[in-house]
Amino acid sequence: MPRTRPAPASTPGTTSAPPPRAEPVPRKLIVDTDPGIDDAVAIFLAAASPELDLLGLTTVFGNCATAVATRNALILLDVADRPDVPVARGATDPVASTYLGAIPHIHGTDGMGDGGELPAPTREPVAESAAEFLCRTVAEHPGEVTILAVGPLTNLALALRLRPDLDTLVDQVVVMGGNALVPGNATPAAEANMLNDPEAADVVFGARWPVTMVGLDVTHKANLRGADLDRITAADTPAGRHLARALPLYRAFMERTNGLDGIYTHDPSEVAYLIDPTAFRTEAWPRRGRSGWRPRVSAAARRGPTSATPTTRPRPRGRTGRWSTCASTSTRPAWSTWSCAGSADRPGVVAVE
């Protein structure tokens, strides 16, 4: 839900009409991404949403190599008619290991479904690295920028290395990744983004900024069904035509491996959360503190799993600790997250319901 800017106050002693409703203030947003077919859906949604002020895309390895992800990010912004949004190229390898490699059987060799030749991007990425872009842009808007990370968390960890106080300047970090109470999708234990750089994830989840984790527990419940995809790809728009080219491979993979007539909306789910958090059900928990509740990302032999092991179940803290209304109908999925927020020494992390 967009924030609001208060309406001007009336002059004392005068009679006036009721003040107008507060004006929505778009949320300033940077998307750290590895496009990726579901990334494309998320980027189109973010680029078209008046609730969001898209300040830039930063790219990282994951679904494809960083060079491919950067090209795809530029192409997607061309399709979305957003030449005002810069793209900064990010890390090519994890902070403590090497890139595990692309997943062409899901996203294609071009990261966009191998549905035909992609147009060349009309511009180049900015000269700054992704970490430098994150540090500069956040510093220009202290306390206002949300970082949405839908790939491995390497760029965020590198940005913290460049500017250790960055986690005090960001409004919040929203992460597509992790699996609190369900199996992984890259290994039985790990979700793909966490597996690709568990050391970076450990840095990001341990920093001082508020973190909202929307993991597989949520995104495996939030599906675009076949009929929904047919309507989207039939649209005679640049985005509709692009997705008609990109989605068949991704859709076929979901049907073959999960028996799903449609797709999991991994990355679009987080954009939906930012547009309207009230459509999600959240609960706040500490992630550090005396309770012993310590969500962590393991970088040991079983790389990549996110886990939370409470010794005692802590009391929800603050307003975000209450369950909010969840919109759930036969045509709208029940979006749900379990938001761990607020302790004496750390802001929150979201484990999923």
Residues classed as catalytic: 34, 266
Burial class (CB in 10 A: 0-12, 13-18, 19+), 29: buried
Q: Which amino acid is at 23?
A: E
CA distances from residue 88 to 49, 52, 82, 91, 303 in whole angstroms, order as listed: 21, 19, 15, 10, 28
First to last CA, the chain: 21
DSSP 131-152: HHHHHHHHHHSTTTEEEEE-S-
DSSP structural state of residue 19: P
For residue 326, give the nearest of 233, 218, 193, 168 by alpha carbon: 218
Backbone angles phi, psi at 238, to 5 degrees: -55, -45
Backbone angles phi, psi at 348, to 5 degrees: -95, 160
Could you tell me if 114 and 71 are in contact, meaning their C-beta atoms sit under 8 angstroms apart?
Answer: no
Give the H or E element holding residue 159: helix 154-162
**In angstroms, rounded to a whole number, what is the distance separating the alpha carbons of residues 275 and 270?**
9
Give the H or E element holding residue 335: strand 335-336
CA distances from residue 250 to 108, 115, 214 in whole angstroms, order as listed: 8, 11, 21
For residue 350, give the nearest of 174, 93, 101, 187 by alpha carbon: 174
